[in-house]
Amino acid sequence: MADTRVNFCGVTFKNPLAAASAEPTLNAANMKKCIDAGAGAVIAKTMTDSSDMRELTQRAKWRFLNEKHEVCRGKVPRGFSLYSRSGLALEPPDDFMKEITQTVKYADENDAVVIGSIASTNIDGWVTLGKQMEDGGVPLVELNFGCPHPKLMPGVRTGMNVGQDFEYACEITQKVTDTLDVPIIIKVTPQVTDLVLFSDMLHKAGAQAVTLTNRFIGFVPDIETGKPLIYGKAGVGGPWTKPLTLRWINEVRAALGDKLYITGTNGAYDWRDTVMFIMSGAHIVQMCSAVMCYGYDWLTKQVTGLENFMDEKGYETIDQMLGLATDACLEYAQMPHEKAAVDADLCKNCGMCLKACFSNAMQQDQKNVFVERENCVGCGGCYSVCPVRGTIKMEKV
């Protein structure tokens, strides 16, 4: 069987699947369920000294939305959106640390890792919270510079409000890394212009890893009532965000290589997505929305799916997959020229390829669809819409 162990910032994980910081890791009881389900790690719900962010969690609301951005009724589609308003850990730090120490002990007994997550409203608070986590026995601490909810609460300077101020974020990072001995991870917001630059700055400030990325801020009206869902703007994420997240993992991996560890989150739905994250450059993969939708057993299925995939494809270790796709990524000017070719014996003459061709390359006579090679630019639109596998191939020229 494939070896799914991962070395992340000097800490060994039995597998790269982690339960992200959210309601499934709200307290010790919830985190134990993640561990029992087989997750290699749990990232605790973010501990905070902000009473506003704790109070917001008491009024948390979320909706699973379909492709029309309407509330799902019954079956939730694979490409759903999680639209939510929530806050951070419910308990004040001294009380929440009891949840942490319980979970650390349970994780040690079950070959799992607990990652502490913190968010403060001032620099000294970040240091104090980080030290509490370290003293509580966690081997890694994540600074949450990405939570979207504080952006929607005037006067609360934490989460995303920090992550959009690169200089301030690096000042916090420097102070925390100077004080703590455990490795520091920075969870960033995607709503900035350059996460490669920011990741490099955070690395120079002492961070050993980045979490790419937290959620966006969205707004969804209900056209039947003329009112916004769950009363207003909210954090939005889910499987639909995967290509956006993978773009940043790809770029940070390509630019910084082995200098910085990467955890990937926001878009990982199942084991297939876990593989995509790893091949893009993520050492571990955090899962949240699907667990919130389908329950803790979802984690078990994804660990098993990853193991089966690795065995089927002959990958003996996670490292053999790490960054494969990023390493093979070509710039636009490096792409090979291709042209379409049609297998007339398989073609059903449905006409889909004719509609998808805008270079007048796909043509049809009285019998068959064929390719006017001189016109073909190799875009692959015809290949994408053809309903019969193997009928259209893209050939390098």
pLDDT at 219: 98
Q: Please indicate, yes or no, if residue 1 is contained in any of the structural domains.
A: no
- Domain count within the chain: 2
pLDDT > 90 fraction of the chain, expressed in percent and rounded: 97
> What SS3 state is found at 139?
coil
Q: pLDDT digit string (tens) for 282-315?
A: 999 999 999 999 999 999 999 999 999 999 999 9
Are 272 and 342 contained in the same domain? no
How many other β-carbons are positioned within 10 Å of the β-carbon of residue 181? 7
Are 54 and 25 contained in the same domain? yes
Are 304 and 360 contained in the same domain? no
Q: pLDDT digit string (tens) for 307-351?
A: 999 999 999 999 999 999 999 999 999 999 999 999 999 999 999
Mode of pairing for the β-strands spanning 11-13 and 6-8: antiparallel
Listed in sequence order, the residues at least 6 apart from 357 whose beta carbon sits closer than 8 Å to its beta carbon are 381, 382
Last residue of a domain, one of 274, 294, 327: 327
Are 17 and 156 contained in the same domain? yes
Mode of pairing for the β-strands spanning 284-287 and 17-19: parallel
How many other β-carbons are positioned within 10 Å of the β-carbon of residue 124? 12
To the nearest 10°, report the CA torsion of 248, 301, 23, 260. Answer: -30
Kindly report the pTM of this predicted structure: 0.97
Is pLDDT larger for residue 153 or for residue 179? 179
Are 84 and 223 contained in the same domain? yes
Q: pLDDT digit string (tens) for 203-255?
A: 999 999 999 999 999 999 999 999 999 999 999 999 999 999 999 999 999 99
Are 267 and 318 contained in the same domain? yes
Residue 242 to residue 120: CA distance in whole angstroms: 28
- CATH code where residue 344 lies: 3.30.70.20
Are 195 and 244 contained in the same domain? yes
Last residue of a domain, one of 327, 360, 382: 327
Q: pLDDT digit string (tens) for 34-78?
A: 999 999 999 999 999 999 999 999 999 999 999 999 999 988 999
Listed in sequence order, the residues at least 6 apart from 173 whose beta carbon sits closer than 8 Å to its beta carbon are 143, 184, 186, 202, 205, 206, 207
Q: Please indicate, yes or no, if residue 148 is contained in any of the structural domains.
A: yes
Range of the domain at 382: 332-396
Mark out the alpha helices in the chain (DSSP H runs).
28-36, 51-57, 93-109, 123-135, 160-163, 166-179, 195-204, 242-256, 271-280, 289-294, 297-313, 324-327, 352-356, 381-385
Are 140 and 235 contained in the same domain? yes
CB half-sphere exposure, 85, CA atoms < 13 A: 18
